[in-house]
Structure 1
Amino acid sequence: MAAPHILADDDVLNCGGGGGATTYKSLRIASIFIIWFGSSFGALFPVLARRTSWLAVPPALFEFAKYFGSGVIIATAFIHLLDPAIDELNSPCLSPAWQEYPYALALALLSIFSIFIVELVAFRIGTARLAKLGIRHDAHGHSVGGHAAHGPEGDADVEEDFDGPPRKEFREDSAADQADAEHNALAQIIGVAILEFGIVLHSVLIGLTLAVDEDFKTLFVVIVFHQMFEGLGVGSRLAYLQIPARFNYIPVLGGVLYGITTPIGIAVGLGVRTTYNPGSTTASVVAGVLDALSAGILIYTGLVELLAHEFLFSRDMRQASNWKLAYAIGCMLAGAAIMALLGKWA
């Protein structure tokens, strides 16, 4: 989300320290708690609903949230991160050297390849370790006894009982089987951690901007929906993690972390509102670089970890009817469309 450049009284672009808007102080303070509730609800509801039977959430709602959330994340990457990064790093407050090269796109590209290399190295190390134990592992779940490393597309080791929360049956009868389970759990955790890292950076910047932005009321309403939908995308990823019981705290921790990041950004912004100018040279560079890196993370995660593994490599989706496939694609496009529409105001 691009920060507006604040104009001084003489209509000269203010690129110095300056300060942000100080209007609506009480409402800005209240926004900390309102956005905290909305963000936390979006991220934690899928996790808690999938773990408890008393909520009686229909299985179709989980399916909708999963695919809708994928669309939200992808649209966030392009509309709410990459485009603002381009604007911020082309700010008139920056030196002409910033205009000579598309730095925002280059940083996003760097981020994409960095995440790819990190995951590739981690996967090769894990696969080599399993090979020493006599296990042939395939991240897409095609091997005998293999599990899906990136989502619920594995084989017979996954129980899909929609009358209650699904459980991954991890075989504990040998050290090799336990190592395979550990590797799959770690792969899933790393994938979600990468996704959340990119979103957390973005959420803090959103909070800082909201705390000092002059057009507070419009931005506030949009960000409430923005954070809730984005939280739904994160929460649906966390809810579908298939990990051993001793790691069950990780999805809850991820939801809590997402819920507090934007409120923390707002609180920090309110604390420095008399000196923090979101259109200053330093702020434009920092926000632009972080938005570009976050965009690369979410582009990679959205296209590879979510779309590829949910549609191309998912055994359930390959065997699904045309109607189910069309429904899943429709949910994904709906999430992307709504998030893209919010980009008109934020």
Structure 2
Amino acid sequence: MSANSDTDPCVSSRNNDTFLGLRVASVFIVLVCATSGTLFPVLARRSKWLHVPKGVFDFAKYFGSGVIIATAFIHLLSPGLDELSSPCLSPGWSEYPYALALCLLSIFSIFILELIAFRWGTSKLEKLGLRHDPHGHYTGSHAAHGPEGSQTPPKEHSTGDVEAQREEHHHHHGELTHLDDSASAQIVGIAILEFGVILHSVLIGLTLAVDEGFKILFVVIVFHQTFEGLGLGSRLAFIKLPPRFNYVPVLAAIIYGLSTPVGIAVGLAVRSSYNPGSATASIVSGVLDSLSAGILIYTGLVELLAHEFLFNKEMMNSSNGKLAYALGTMLLGCGVMALLGKWA
């Protein structure tokens, strides 16, 4: 009985100290790569001496959209299905597709929360006598995922018209209100996107710390986190926030960079007792992966694709060449991240 328990993948931890030095070093290597990939677009956008062409940011933005969507399906939903159908789980788990149900729950939960927030925000603006475009073109409520046009220009008026001057004053006051409303919406958008990405990053860090095929997985995760960070950073770089919120994109980039190293560190700390194939680990990983998949599917398809292409007046009025370039870049990011799913 004891011999069987030592070899049973559902019971034994099966972890040893192979490549321990490299596993410890991976904490710092992944930290540098992931943080650099995320911070570079943010800092380059703000730098006065580092003049990065707009085309580079556009490439990173569209490439990152593809990365995020592929991450949702290949790196989150697929593992979630495998983990919640593990033979280590009780038979009840195989009687229903729980991973897909949790993903569906996550998608509709994010949608309903955003819908409630939108209705509340619209009602608040209407009480102030301000107008809100449903696609976010006026208030910029979706600018966390890329600019989608410009604000409505101020009305022309005669300088001698007292009523026009009052209206101009009200318009500028309205812009400040829009700015505050937009800031809140953008911060929420960042939080939703980052929440899904961070859960995934912590889990893969935990897996990397104890996985037997460490070398291949380590190389893949370095590329994975760098590409994903580049996609996230390109979104963070273009959000428009009031000066008092300027730290938010940098903070979000740093938190993302820390997520996988934290997972690796935790995995190394509990490697002697942690079994990634156990029933408990499979349930926790499967549930979190499935919920994260729903978050990134909704964010990727609705917030990134729809608002970057269908609801983006600049993109819809652009040349066929620019549209083809954007689509090709997005598909390239999706393809590269989907390919990495062969090893991680």
TM-score, normalized by length of structure 1? Answer: 0.90
Match of 1:57 in 2: 52
CA distance in 2, matches of 1:141, 1:298: 20
Distance 2:96 2:36 in 1: 41
Provide the residue aligned with 1:39 in structure 2: 34
Separation in 1, partners of 2:63, 2:289? 23
Contact 1:141–1:155, Cα closer than 8 Å, also in 2: no
The 1:122–1:101 alpha-carbon spacing in structure 2 relative to 1, beyond 3 Å, is same
Structure 2 residue ranges without an equivalent (≥5): 154-168
Matched, 1:150 2:142: yes
Residue-pair matches, total: 324
SS of 2:50's equivalent in the other structure is: coil
Describe how 1:144-183 pairs up with structure 2 within 5 A: 146-151=138-143, 152-156=147-151, 174-183=172-181
Q: What are the equivalent positions in structure 2 for 1:65-84 lying under 5 Å apart?
A: 65-84=60-79
- How far off is 1:12 after superposition? 4.8
SS in 2 for 1:21: coil
7, 19, 28: which is aligned to 2:23?
28
Give the TM-score taking structure 2 as reference length.
Answer: 0.91
Q: Distance in 2 between matches of 1:21 and 1:334?
A: 38
User: Which residue of 110, 113, 116 maps to 2:108?
Assistant: 113
RMSD (Å), alpha carbons: 1.8
Q: How far apart in 1 are the matches of 2:63 and 2:313?
A: 20
Higher Cα Rg, which structure: 2
Shift of 1:187: 1.2
Deviation at 1:113, TM superposition (A): 0.2
Q: Deviations over 1:248-303 (max 9, x none)?
A: 10000000000001000000100000000000110000000000000000000000
CA–CA separation in structure 1 for the residues paired with 2:254 and 2:6: 42
What's the secondary structure of 1:92's corresponding residue? coil
Q: In structure 2, give the amino acid aligned to 1:182.
A: D
1:176 alignment partner AA? G
| Correspondence for 1:128 | 123
Q: Give 1:233's aligned residue.
A: 231
Distance, in Å, in 2 between the alignment partners of 1:172 and 1:277 is 62
The SS at the match of 1:71 is: helix
Of 292, 298, 304, 1:306 maps to 304
Question: Contact 1:147–1:154 at 8 Å: present in 2 too?
Answer: no
Structure 1 or 2: more helix by fraction: 2
CA 1:316 to 1:275, structure 2 compared with 1: closer, same or farther past 3 Å? same
User: What one-letter code is carried by the residue in structure 1 that aligns with 2:296?
Assistant: L
Alignment correspondent of 2:215: 217
Aligned to 1:345: 343
Shift in CA distance, 179/285, structure 1 to aligned 2, threshold 3 Å: same
SS in 2 for 1:53: coil
Aligned ranges 1:180-259 → 2 under 5 Å: 180-259=178-257
